[in-house]
Amino acid sequence: MSPTRVTPAEDAVLLFDVGAAT
């Protein structure tokens, strides 16, 4: 997905943000 994934928490936040944006 994105090369800027630092931690599983970050990834979860990103996924949640994307899900909320759609």
Give the helix, strand, coil percentages of the chain, each rounded to 5.
Answer: 65, 0, 35
pLDDT of residue 2: 59
pTM: 0.34
Both tokens assigned to 2: 């994105």
> For the segment 1-22, what is each residue's pLDDT rounded down to a tens digit?
556 666 888 888 888 877 776 6
With a CB cutoff of 8 Å and minimum separation 6, the contacts of 5 are: 11, 14
